[in-house]
Amino acid sequence: MRLIRELERLQAERGYLDEASLGELSSRLGVPLYRLEGLVSFYPHFKTEPAPPVTISVCRDMSCHLAGAEHVADALRKELAGTEDLAVEEASCLGCCELAPAARVNGHPCQLQDAAELASSMPEGDPVPDGEKPPWRSDPYAEDERYGVLRAALESPSPTDEAERIVEALQESGLRGMGGAGFPTGLKWKLVRSEEARPKYVVCNADESEPGTFKDRVIMEELPHLVVEGIALGAFVVGAEKGIIYLRHEYGRAKAALEAELDRARASGLLGSGVLGSDFSLEIEIFVSPGGYILGEETALLEALEDRRGEPRNKPPFPGQVGLDGLPTLMNNVETLALVPGILRRGVPWWESAGRDGHAGLKFISVSGHVERPGVYEIPTGTTVAELIELAGGVSDDRALKAFAPGGASSNFLPADHADVPIDFATIEERGSMMGSGALVVVGEGTPLLPLAANVVRFFRNESCGKCVPCRLGTQKATEMLEATLESGVPLDWSVIRKLDLLLRETSICGLGYVALNPLTSVAEHWPEEVPGCSAEAPGSGIVAPHGQR
Amino acid sequence: MIDLTIDGRAVQVPPGATIWEAARLLGIDLPVLCHDPRLEPVGVCRLCLVEVGEPKLTAACVRGAEDGMEVRTSSERLEVCRRGLVELLLSDYPIDASGRPKTGSDALLALASELGADWPDRRSRSGETGEAPRSRTEPAGGIPAGQGRPLDGTSKVIFVDHQACILCDRCIRGCDDLQVNEVMGRTGKGYQTRIAFDLDAPMGESTCVSCGECEKVCPTGALSLRVWEEPPKDAAGSGNTGWEVL
């Protein structure tokens, strides 16, 4: 963390990282130049040239593509052409898809249409909007009751029994990881608890970056006490004394909310040495990611925390055994951690009854794309996609539903007749897609799907770390083929697409590669008429995916 | 000791040994481009993938051998993957890159021929003339060819052809870990990644000491030797220090 923080400090001081400063840093810390080059050129947050006073970052990804970002951005570029001291840059999904088409002006999120006006006022900070916040059902507390589960655990005469009770309750609840992989939370806590090496760490993965996904941002902004208590409970159970929140750098408001919450917790004796007079000690710090979707992959995240390029590790071993600095590390997503206090406070029967029609629990879903009221919705698990779209005001502009991606950019598109699917891990998998990062992206009738699929494949190409052969080359080749087809109408050589899909799925090191062509193969499966070269006789990739991968 | 079977044959290895090492004990040479027994494995070329009864294939060079593990090193699934990976690499590989002087042989082309990869063999094209062949790439297995990566001829000892580089990381580990010269790394991300010297300086202007380790471990024509001749006598005093032979 030290080296990346030094680079950030240096950049904050000078505005960019010039060769002389990097040379000086290399001598001062005894770090070879090649390592600095590796970091500075890998992470998008680092700049090697001076930035103008105003930078407009324009999102080009899934939800913004559906909102016509390309056209709006072209108009903006024309309008601002020749404006001095201003740069317009393309950025990957900014995590504010409810604003689509979204942009950031000097870090201030806005609608792309408002970017020019905002740029002329050169905003500095990122004010938190005032106003009443709606109550979230996942929050079991009145304000003066917060951290009740942690307090009770620490007052327990036997911390060992208490920790085991917590693991049992989580296992019984069936809570699964909400970051995308869906690993059973109770089992993960149990495994890390059983590791003997010390110290251990708890990492909250707050690097949400999947196009269409912004639920964790809202949870951190509005329920930071649940995130902090979730981390503390994880640390209590596995025996860690240090927690790290790995936060994407675009989430300024979430950072402010978390910092304020950590201050409050410290002031109340809930963090620090001997929490509330017990033997349990805990420090939590925030680490701001220097950027990139791949950092949400748990081992890439660890590489970044260890001051290396964020390239996923070969697994096994998993972070629970060999994590940060080679030590056992409990890593959970923001939403997963935030749900833990509610489940433990109100009990498993409550959690089971919070869902619908036999599905347990509550789920935060980011809804974006062609809906009237995009935003984060907290729904009973088992709510159908059609009902959630209605809750979000229906498909925008009175269109019919054409398609939807239930779990963000990497989940397979499903056609409208699957909108009756209850939202839960197993039910969505049965329809051939996945819960993924809990991001419903809605596509209205009349939207051509091949450009959308190409947009998502391009995102994965842009965000591939470049470490392994299949992903570095496969995502590029597929993007080139799709661009050629979109430009000239030349049919795709489907045998080559199938080959690339096979190589990505079977031989990539991490999940980015496995899923990179999902948007294309699922469009080909359900809408073969929109994919030139993909014959109706051979829809989709034709490749049987390994169990659990799609 | 750890007991496992590879292709049905029993083998015993000490704890910490990888599947690749265990296979070697049985005389099974798994295909590799990124691995070298002298280097810490990185598992990036994916050619040594094997089946271990898990849903995912696993890279033998990095995966530790486990008690009771049943490893398969060949199957149709593995063959298709290995051939495809080589074709993917060849689609970006300049046709004549292997013609350059090297300490070792071109391991990528040797593997291509061993695995039967679909690629226009450079030898069948040696008669062709008319355009500069050195930047030419050809589709392999129908995969679009890539091109446009730079050359670096600034070092008097090593010639760098980034287009022929497969980012196996062997030169980097050779430079930083074996020789501890700590000059080489990677710059950029994704498809734009390249090997780099210091802060991405041209090789001849970097802190490279010309030890030659990077060229020696390079499995392709990306890093090759420059061969120089003594200047003819009548050129003495002209400031000419020699001619490159190739």
- Please indicate, yes or no, whether residues B106 and B224 belong to a single structural domain of this protein: yes
**In-domain check, residue A131:** no
pLDDT attached to residue B137: 80
Mean pLDDT, rounded, for B223-240: 69
| pLDDT score for A535 | 61
Q: Average pLDDT of A405-432?
A: 97
CB atoms within 10 A of CB A84: 7
Residues 6+ apart with CB under 8 A from A142: none
Say if residues A366 and A440 touch (Cβ distance below 8 Å). yes
* Domain-embedded: residue B234: no
Residue A181 sits in the same domain as residue A82: no
Find, in chain A, the residue whose alpha carbon is nearest to that of B45: A469
Regarding whether B38 and B7 lie in a shared domain, the answer is yes
Residue A544 confidence (pLDDT): 38
pLDDT at A540: 41
- Could you give the CA distance from residue A291 to residue A295 in angstroms, rounded to a whole number? 7
State the pLDDT at residue A524: 97
| Whether residue A288 sits in one domain with residue A427 | no
Final residue before a domain boundary, out of A393, A421, A444: A444
Give A285's strand partners.
A244
Can you read off the two tokens belonging to residue A106? 């000097």
Q: Is the pLDDT of residue B89 over 70?
A: yes
SS3 of residue A479 by DSSP: helix
pLDDT at A128: 56
For the cut 60, the answer to whether the pLDDT of residue A536 exceeds it is no
pLDDT at residue A547 greater than cutoff 60: no
The DSSP-derived string for A13-46 is HHSS--HHHHHHHHHHHT--HHHHHHHHHH-TT-
- Band (pLDDT 50/70/90 cuts) for residue A314 is very high
When scoring A507, A512, A517, A541 by the number of chain B Cβ atoms within 10 A, the one with the most, hence best to mutate, is: A507
Asked if the structure places residue B96 within a domain, the reply is yes
Judging contacts by C-beta atoms under 8 Å, the chain B residues touching residue A473 are: 88-89, 91-92, 146, 191
Q: Same domain for A275 and A340?
A: yes
Are B91 and B203 in a shared domain? yes
Beta-sheet strands, E only, within A101-236: 102-105, 108-111, 201-206
* Residues A310 and A376 grouped into a single domain: no
Provide the CATH number for the domain around residue B15: 3.10.20.740
Do B63 and B183 fall within a single domain?
A: no
Based on its alpha-carbon atoms, the radius of gyration of chain A, rounded to whole angstroms, reads: 23
- pLDDT surpasses 80 at B220: yes
Inspect the interface and report whether the beta carbons of A466 and B187 lie closer than 8 Å: no
Inter-chain CB proximity B185 and A37 less than 8 Å: yes
Question: Residue A235 pLDDT > 80, yes or no?
Answer: yes
Q: Is the pLDDT of residue B238 over 80?
A: no
Domain's final residue, options A348, A368, A384 = A348
User: Do A265 and A389 have their domain in common?
Assistant: no
**Choice between A208 and B96, residue whose per-residue pLDDT is larger:** A208
- CA B50: distance to chain centroid? 20
Among B18, B50, B74, identify where a domain stops: B74
Q: What is the pLDDT of residues A163-187, one digit of tens each?
A: 999 999 999 999 999 999 899 999 9
Contact A472 B198 (CB under 8 A): no
Q: What is the pLDDT of residues B102-147, one digit of tens each?
A: 888 899 999 999 999 988 754 444 444 444 444 578 888 899 999 8
- Do A390 and A506 share a domain, yes or no? no
Percent of chain A having pLDDT more than 70?
95
**Nearest one of A108, A529, A523, A478 to B191, comparing CA atoms:** A478
Q: What is the CATH number of the domain that holds A415?
A: 3.10.20.600
B 178-197 residues with CB < 8 A to A = 182-193, 196-197
Alpha helical stretches, state H, B149-237: 170-173, 213-217
Both A378 and A416 in one domain: the answer is yes
Number of inter-chain CB pairs under 8 A, A vs B: 146
A435 found inside a domain: yes
pLDDT at A142 over 70: yes
Residue A209 sits in which domain range?
Answer: 154-348
Question: What's the domain range around B111?
Answer: 82-118+143-228
A417 CB contacts (<8 Å, ≥6 apart)?
none
Stretch A97-121: mean pLDDT: 92
What are the residues facing A368 on neighbouring strands? A441
pLDDT attached to residue A134: 74
Three-class SS of A332-375? EEHHHHHHHHHHHHHCHHHHHHHCCCCCCCEEEEEEEECECCCE
* pLDDT level of residue B227 (50, 70, 90 thresholds): confident
Where do we find the tokens 């994916």?
B46
Within 8 A of B142 by CB-CB distance, chain A residues are 493, 495-496, 499
> How many domains does chain B contain in total?
2
Q: What is the mean pLDDT of chain B?
A: 89
Residues B202 and B98 reside in one and the same domain = yes
| B167 and B186 together in one domain | yes
Confidence of residue A129 (pLDDT cuts 50, 70, 90): low
Residues A325 and A388 in one domain: no
End-to-end CA distance of chain B: 52
C-alpha span between A407 and B163 (Å, rounded) = 37
Q: In terms of CA atoms, which chain B residue is nearest residue A513?
A: B190
Which residue, of B53, B74, B95, is where some domain finishes?
A: B74
- B179 and B151 in a common domain: yes
Task: Count the neighbouring beta carbons within 10 Å of the beta carbon of residue B96.
Answer: 18
Tell whether the model's pLDDT for residue A541 goes beyond 70.
Answer: no
CB environment A47-62: b (16+ within 10 A), e (fewer): eeeeeeebbbbbbbbb
B151: in domain: yes
Among residues 436-465 of chain A, which lie with CB inside 8 Å of chain B? 461-465
**Average confidence (pLDDT) over A209-223:** 97
Residues A331 and A366 in one domain: no
Total structural domains in chain A? Answer: 5
**Domain end point (choices A381, A416, A444):** A444
Q: What is the pLDDT of residue B118?
A: 86
Same domain, residue pair B201 and B96: yes
Got the DSSP string for A63-97? HHHHTTHHHHHHHHHHHHTT-TTEEEEEES--S-G
Min mean pLDDT across A92-101, A320-329, A427-436, B227-236 is at B227-236
Q: Contacts of residue B197 in chain A, CB cutoff 8 Å?
A: 34
pTM reported for the whole predicted model: 0.94
- Mutation for testing the A interface, residue in B35, B47, B56 having most A CBs under 10 Å: B56
- pLDDT per residue over B23-62, tens digit each? 999 999 999 999 999 999 999 999 999 999 999 999 999 9
| Mean pLDDT across B189-211 | 98
DSSP-derived secondary structure for B5-31: EETTEEEEE-TT-BHHHHHHHTT----
Give the pLDDT score at B240.
54
Q: Token pair of B4, please?
A: 């496992």
Supply the angle between the helices A33-42 and A19-29 in degrees, to the nearest 10: 130
Which pLDDT score, from 0 to 100, does residue A498 have? 96
pLDDT over threshold 50, residue A98: yes
Using a CB-CB cut-off of 8 Å, the residues of chain A touching B59 are 314
Phi, psi of B134 (to 5 degrees): -75, -20
User: Which residues from chain A sit within 8 angstroms of residue B79, using beta carbons?
Assistant: none
| Same domain (yes/no): B207, B110 | yes
Chain B contacts in chain A segment 480-499 (CB below 8 A): 480-481, 484, 493, 495-496, 499
Residue A130 has pLDDT above 80, yes or no: no
CATH of the domain at B189: 3.30.70.20
